[in-house]
Every structure is written in structure tokens, then in C-alpha cells.
Amino acid sequence: MRIQFVSHEAVGIEKAMDHGGVGISQRVVAEGLARRGHHVELLLPSDKEWNNEYAGVKLRGWKSDRRRFVGIFRNMKRQKQLAADFAKGDSDAFTIIPDVGCVSWPYPLASIKVIKFTCTHLLQKHEAQHDRPNYLRAIAEKLMVPRANAFFSISARTADVSAHLFKIARDQIVVIPNAVDTEMFRPPENESRDPNLLLYTGTVCEKKGAWETVAALRILEERYPNLKLLMIGRNGVDYNNRGDFIGRIKTAFPDTCHSRVEFRGHVKNDELPSIYQKAAVVVLPSYYESFGRTTIEAMACGAAVVRSDSPPASEIISDGIDGLLCRTKDAEDLAKKIDTLLCSPELRQSLGAKARKTAVTRFSVGVVVEMTEAFLKNLLDEERRCNDFHLS
């Protein structure tokens, strides 16, 4: 099969293999499909046009026009051309687009257009229950999203909400989870974790539960005088779009941040495994997620994970079996669950071992690639049956 994956994140050439969670998820599955003999391209916006190849996947950067209005139409024209170039007249080619980039893609494409539900603007507003959506983005998504040829989603929760928002029959949305490279993300060879290290990975912002993470540390610091927190991720904003969220945290918890918290900023994806391998507990208390890729990265590294119980957490973690769930937006309950793990090295080790098994059996690249391949083959068979019916 000919399969074109799209990333929505604009990157420079030097960052082509290190974009965000959606882009990384596209890349690892693209590489897996290439290993199975498919012709695969990863298309991503960049600062200039370029072509490369990595792990059997053709990497194609295209220079997007970032002007506010004119750029939209120029990009639509260029994207249509890129999809047609890839398909090369082959109506059986696929273009898989994350929903966050779909509103600028023209219809129809030369290839079979598949939307991967991850985090549309409307879904984010629905899950946050905080603000009215941007009027123009909402209209664009309402008009454009349902017109794709097929859909799949990274979680059942995201599929349910997307079906509701876009008036799509739920049985038309197949669930294929995000994948993690379980060879790259793996437990340490010897159990050398720092028993006093908590780890937070993700944008340091309100929705990711960064505030609750530091508040929980503040609750625990008297009982655990050597406890430290490492926060990996760029500085974010709150729901009122006020920037410098790290600054807000430092102002609210000055002593704790000064002596116990390290804000390290962005870390390249291939450097993350060694960090996951050192942490006693990985804390992921988001208010909501479409999936939560960092969860399966930590689990693949055999870490003891505490995640908030907002959907779709229970689709990934079985509470008390391969991780712990805490109440969302509840720093005291988060501190309680962290305390439970800090008190018991045996529990941390048991949960971590089972977490690794879950990651390998449910979220490894091989498993997700097989699901993706089966989905596309079934879609191709349906397209052919429809074409045969119309011809007859």
C-alpha cells in the first residue's frame, strides 16, 4: 500500500524527527509500516522544501505560507499538489491526517483521505468545559471533518466525543491507540531508580496538572525531606491564555520550587528513556487528554505511574494493577497516591513490571502497526466494492 502520513507541526530541518506527540506517533507507525514493505511518506511543514529518508520512510518537508489569510489558500493548493504527487494516479493510496491539521486540507484529495481523531479544537473545548470555541475554527471543523473518506481515533473516549460533535455514526470510527517504541523505551538494565525522584513530562501548563503536581510535592516535602521533582516540558499557558505558567508556579510555591523542583524545559524524544528509567514515580495528572502519549512511554520504561482519572485514563491504566489513578484536579489525592508508592518499593516494582507488559502487549509499534494495516486493508476492500458496485 501507499500511505502518506501528515504532521501538522511546523519544524525546522534540524527538528524533523523530534516534533510533538502527534508527530512522533505518526512517525513511529510510519516506520513500522515501512518495515512491513509498504511505501510510506511522512509529510510535514518546515522552513523550506526538502526531501530525506529515514528508516525506510520518505520524509518530505514543505514550506508553508504563514500569512494569516492568503497563506491558507496557498497552503491548500500546495497540500493538494503534495497529496496528488504521492498518489501518482493510484486511487488506492491513503493520506492520514491528524484532525488538528485537517481544516486546511482541500476536498477531495487524489488519495483516500483518513482523519485520525486526536485533538480537534471543538474536542478540546468540550473536554475542558471552560470556554466557547473559536467561531471560525468551529465552523471550519464542522464543515470539513465529516467529509473525509474514513476515520479512526486514538481512544474510545475521543471517538465517542468526536462522533457526537461532528454527527458521525460511532461505528464509523475505529479505535487505534498511539504506539510507543518499546525497544527504545524500556526498563533500566539494573534497577537503579532514584527513590527520591518524581518526574513530570508534558507542557508545564494548567490542563496538564502542573499546578497540582507541585502542590502535591508541597504536601509531601515535610515527610520526605530529600524528595525532588523534575519537570520536563516547555513553559505553557493557563485557560485565560496568560503565559509563563512556570512563573506562576514559582510565585505560588517559592520555597518548594527553589529547593526541590527543576524545570528542565524541552528534552529530545530519544533522551527521554534514560530519564523515565531514573524516576521512582512518574506523575501525569492532566485535566483531560485525547490519549496521553507520555503515559505509555513511562509504562514501557517500567515506571510506577500516577495519572489522573479523567478519560481516557482507564483505557490505558488498570488502577492498582499497572499504575494508580488519582482524582482529577485534586492535589491531596495525588499526594496520597504518590505517598503510597514512595512507601513501598515492592509496589513500585510490581506496578512497573505490569506496566511494561501492558505497553508491550497493547501499545507497542508492532501491535499498533498491525491494527493500522488491517484498518487500511479493510477500507481499501470497501472502496473497491463500492467502485465495483457503481461500475456494474
Tell whether the model's pLDDT for residue 231 goes beyond 70: yes
Q: What is the pLDDT of residue 159?
A: 97
Provide CB contacts within 8 A for 156, sequence distance 6+.
175, 312, 315
pLDDT of 53 higher than 80:
yes
Helix or strand run (H / E) with residue 212 = helix 210-220
Percent of the chain whose predicted confidence (pLDDT) is above 70: 95
Q: Which amino acid is at 318?
A: S
Residue count (the chain): 392
pLDDT value at residue 110:
87
Query: What percentage of the chain reaches a pLDDT higher than 90?
Result: 69
Model pLDDT, residue 9: 75
Distance, in Å, from the CA atom of 211 to the CA atom of 191, rounded to the nearest integer, reads 30
Least confident of 36-40, 68-72, 202-206, 230-234: 68-72
pLDDT tens sequence across 284-320: 999 999 999 999 999 999 999 999 999 999 999 999 9
Strands ordered across the beta sheet of 50-54:
50-54, 57-63, 39-46, 2-6, 94-98, 112-117, 150-153, 173-175
**What average pLDDT does the structure give for the chain?**
91
pLDDT confidence tier of residue 203, bands split at 50, 70 and 90: very high
Q: What pLDDT does residue 220 have?
A: 98
C-beta separation of 155 from 290 below 8 A: yes
What is the predicted pLDDT for the residue at 364?
A: 97
Average pLDDT over residues 36-49: 91
Q: What was the pLDDT predicted at 74?
A: 85
pLDDT tens track for 139-166: 989 988 998 999 999 999 999 999 999 9
Question: pLDDT band at 88, cuts 50/70/90?
Answer: confident
Residue 16 scores a pLDDT above 60: no
With CA atoms as reference, report the closest residue to 210 among 200, 219, 218: 200
The pLDDT, as a whole number, for residue 243 is 80
Chain centroid to CA 75 = 24
Question: How does residue 73 score in pLDDT terms, banded at 50, 70 and 90?
Answer: confident
Helix-strand-coil percent breakdown of the chain, rounded to 5? 45, 20, 35
What would the mean pLDDT of 47-71 be, rounded to a whole number?
87
Whether the per-residue pLDDT at 106 is higher than 90: the answer is no
